[in-house]
Amino acid sequence: MLLDVLQAGEGVLRRPARPLAIEDIPGRPIQELIGHMRDTMRQAPGVGLAAPQVGIPLQIAVIEDRADILESLDPAILAETERRPVPFHVIINPAITLGEETVEFFEGCLSVARFGALVPRARYVSVDCWNERAERVHIEAAGWYARILQHEIDHLNGCLYLDRMRTRSFMTVENYGKYWKGRSVAEMRQALESEEAAGG
């Protein structure tokens, strides 16, 4: 079953989600929710989906960066963003620790449909959480996977990428494809800084 993905402006997207009781994870309602979230994420398509995005204020997110999608992307961009396939998995009640190094890339969101912006994120993170089998999990992630984790955990804390973005880089996905796709983040940043300096 596909779920409706809520858009920015819905209150549930701006409130911290409540932790899920561990004993509830194996139950049918949560297992069905996880399945519906997985199907909705894949249909979108997206690389992550948090329960608040479908109107459920619980600390659950599903993540997957499929190899078949990456095959269609420029290898140079994949290398620059350190993006590799990530198998489907679930994070529940996550606690995240951010590394010190920050990187900046263009990022979108299913709840801010058709827009994106440059967003600085930690290059490395560690996450402690529970999985869909009610097992404790420790994740060490780098590159794009670390970005996905930060983005989804932000959703669980009532935060959107809009709160972290480089505001002058905010644009439609269509215009990103028209003007910036295939260009490096360094080029994009330099152009934006030049426009800002020129008062553009």
Q: What is the pLDDT of residues 153-184, one digit of tens each?
A: 999 999 999 999 999 999 999 999 898 887 88
pLDDT of residue 194: 78
pLDDT class of 200 with cuts at 50, 70, 90: low
Considering only residues 185 and 4, tell me which one the structure prediction assigns the higher pLDDT: 4
As a whole-number percent, the residues of the chain with pLDDT over 70 amount to: 98
Burial degree of 172 (CB within 10 A; 0-12, 13-18, 19+): exposed
**Which are the catalytic amino acids?**
152
pLDDT of residue 137: 98
**Amino acid code (one letter) for 101:** E
> What is the 3 state secondary structure string of 118-178?
EEEEECEEEEEEECCCCCEEEEEEEHHHHHHHHHHHHHHCCCCHHHCCCHHHCEEHHHHHH
Considering only residues 3 and 76, tell me which one the structure prediction assigns the higher pLDDT: 3
Domains and CATH numbers, the chain: 11-197 (3.90.45.10)
Task: Give the pLDDT mean for 82-98.
Answer: 98
pLDDT of residue 79: 92
Predicted TM-score (pTM) of this structure: 0.94
pLDDT of residue 43: 96
pLDDT class of 198 with cuts at 50, 70, 90: low
As a whole-number percent, the residues of the chain with pLDDT over 90 amount to: 84
pLDDT class of 192 with cuts at 50, 70, 90: confident
According to DSSP, the β-strands at 60-65 and 115-122 are unpaired
Residue 76 scores a pLDDT above 90: no
pLDDT of residue 197: 64
User: What CA–CA distance (Å, rounded) separates 36 from 22?
Assistant: 20
Considering only residues 189 and 163, tell me which one the structure prediction assigns the higher pLDDT: 163
User: What CA–CA distance (Å, rounded) separates 128 from 139?
Assistant: 6
According to DSSP, the β-strands at 171-172 and 115-122 are antiparallel
Instruction: Determine contact, residues 59/38, Cβ cutoff 8 Å.
Output: no
